[in-house]
Amino acid sequence: MEACSLNILKYLFLDICPKCKKRLNTNKSNKILSLIVKSCPDEHFEKVYHPALETYVEINK
């Protein structure tokens, strides 16, 4: 794994839901599309990271 990927994972690990403060899950990640999808375990919040674009899309539910 490349160093930049480790930094991304470290950042992702710190993310929490803005509503319930629970840590976001990353088990929806789509390796085929190279997307990292993070979601609240209670479905409050979802975040999609595009590594190629270095951009986040945040979704409040």
How many residues line the site for Zn ion (CB under 5 A)? Answer: 6
Q: How far apart are the first and last CA of the chain?
A: 33
Among residues 11 and 42, whose Cβ is nearest to Zn ion?
42
CB of 41 to Zn ion, least distance (A): 7
Distance of alpha carbon 38 from alpha carbon 57, whole angstroms: 10
Q: Looking only at residues 4 through 43 of this chain, which bind Zn ion when binding is defined by CB under 5 A? A: 17, 19-20, 40, 42
Q: Which residues contribute to the site for Zn ion (CB under 5 A)?
A: 17, 19-20, 40, 42, 44
